[in-house]
Amino acid sequence: MARPRIHDEQLRTRLLESAAETVAHQGVDSLSLRKLAAAQGTSTTAIYSLFGGRTELLVALFATSFASFGDSQRRVPVTGDPEVDLRELAVAYRTWALANPHLYTVMFGGVLGSIDVADEAHRADAAMDPLRAAVSSAVAAGTMAGASVELISHSFWAIVHGLVSLELAMPSTADDETRRAMFDAGAECVLRGWTRQ
């Protein structure tokens, strides 16, 4: 009988999730492989086997965060109406961030410090491909104008990102329906700003 794999994908996922929570709340310097392993009922050997070491674990955390986010953007159906698609991409951005605040902090909170993630930067860029594609369709259809696809995409992303970041960072007494209405209004403003009248 073959020995069961102890260091499997399920353990890898649990280690990444636990590491994200630690780094997001306490900073990268607080991440101890010994404590991380103990919290997941495994050994540091498992971490070295799965990742290679602490630095590699943190790089994998960055890559996994952007991969998950990018997947959520790519799952948004392309309807053929770029404005509808842009609204739905914005909603998917917010939905993913609210469901994954620790990963969002790893991606955008500067919590990884001096960890070199340059080799994984393509994942961050690829996560924005659905947004660029929707803007490109709008520009090609003549419904958006005034700047390059890259500039329009960046401004749309910046507004959506800012709205989500504020929602995550600022305590609010507003209910979810009100928060969603405020988010939708902000996203609509930038969409209207680039729409040809």
Tens digits of per-residue pLDDT, 13-25? 999 999 999 999 9
- For every residue of the chain, DSSP letters joined together read -PPPPSS-HHHHHHHHHHHHHHHHHH-GGG--HHHHHHHTT--HHHHHHHTSSHHHHHHHHHHHHHHHHHHHHHTS---S-HHHHHHHHHHHHHHHHHH-HHHHHHHHS-TTTT---GGGHHHHHHHTHHHHHHHHHHHHHTSB-SS-HHHHHHHHHHHHHHHHHHHHHS---S-HHHHHHHHHHHHHHHHHHHB--
pLDDT tens by residue, 134-170: 999 999 999 999 899 999 999 999 999 999 999 998 8
With 80 as the cut, is the pLDDT of residue 8 above it? no
- Domain positions in the chain: 9-194
Amino acid 9: pLDDT? 85
Q: pTM, whole model, 2 decimals? A: 0.88
Least confident of 13-17, 37-41, 167-171, 183-187: 167-171
pLDDT tens by residue, 94-122: 999 999 999 999 999 888 888 888 888 89
Q: Domain 9-194 belongs to what topology?
A: Tetracycline Repressor; domain 2 (1.10.357)
**Measured distance CA(17)–CA(169) in Å, rounded:** 20
